[in-house]
Amino acid sequence: MSTTLTAPRPTRATPQARVGARRRRTLSWIATHAIAVALAAMFLGPLVLVSLTALMSDEQALTGNLWPESFAWSNFADVFAKSHLLGWTLNTLLYAGLGTLFMLLSSVPVAYALARFRFRGRGLAFLLVITAMMLPPQVIAVPIYLVWARVGLTDTLWPLILPMLLGDAFSIFLLRQFLITIPRDYTDAARVDGCSDLRTLVRVILPMARPAIAAVALFQFFYCWNDYYGPLLYTGINQDNWTLSLGLATFKAFHSVQWNLTMAATLLVTAPVIIVFFFAQRVFIEGVTLTGVKG
């Protein structure tokens, strides 16, 4: 006579047990990421305050109320009406776009030469690059300004854009540190196949160095977007060539008591940079942290 064994039916968790388990998971997550949550709150706090102030009326912006009584979306339209924000944006895009492009065209070959070629004086050349990184721009501002004044390019953005054709010290350093980690077997195999140095750079090295190139491009773009000293030095008189940083500073000076308009203008200026970094953060972090070819 055979007997059949039946497996015990699993007991369903009660609603109270499910709520308790969910609460324990939440508390465990908070305990694990407490420091990250605190840092995120510290960084997001000013941005939230700026956003809320930008949506307040003139009267409420001068009070201690943190939440807008009525969302004044018209503040953003007032910023465009009372400033040349669109023109400043186009100037900034021209400065940042051409500056980043010229920097890449000039810095990548120099970094490749310092990382791959063996020539006399290579160590001295790399030492000059490091020295240029530590040299404050204010030290050479007067002689360089006199040079641009003699060729008649002051009051324009070209004194800020054209020097990028000579390379950027920080970008050369970062790219060189990345390129020396790429195994030489790839370049040696390309030379065996008959590739020249230029073709090896374009067809072999550049695809491997894409994260580093993206990282230095973002660094340069953000620097040009936030640059205040350069536009103030060269375009301070000609308002038609002002960038967003210089225009925003002037807008704050004229509307210092209208905190809602000032915060609305600040939000409009910083929003594009935040959006670009949000979508490019993975490539940016890879370019800074990776050390060559993935294993």
Q: 292: alpha, beta or left, given left = phi > 0 and alpha = psi -120 to 50? A: left
pLDDT at 93: 94
Confidence of residue 4 (pLDDT cuts 50, 70, 90): low
Tens of pLDDT, residue by residue over 96-115, are 999 999 999 999 999 999 98
Confidence of residue 160 (pLDDT cuts 50, 70, 90): very high
- Hey, which bits of 14-147 come out as E strands? none
Distances (CA, A) of 261 to 22, 65, 242: 44, 16, 19
pLDDT at residue 294 above 60?
Answer: no
pLDDT at 73: 87
pLDDT at residue 28 above 90?
Answer: no
Question: Can you tell me the distance from the alpha carbon of 230 to that of 287, in angstroms, rounded to the nearest whole number?
Answer: 27
Tens of pLDDT, residue by residue over 186-214, are 888 888 888 888 888 888 888 888 888 98
pLDDT at residue 143 above 50?
Answer: yes
Confidence of residue 12 (pLDDT cuts 50, 70, 90): low
Among 59-73, 167-181, 195-209, 248-262, the range with the most confident prediction by mean pLDDT is 167-181
pLDDT at 13: 58
Which run of H or of E encompasses 146? Answer: helix 141-150
- For the record, the structure tokens of 75 come out as 């503040």
Higher pLDDT, 192 or 7: 192
Three-state SS at 294:
coil
pLDDT, the chain, mean: 83
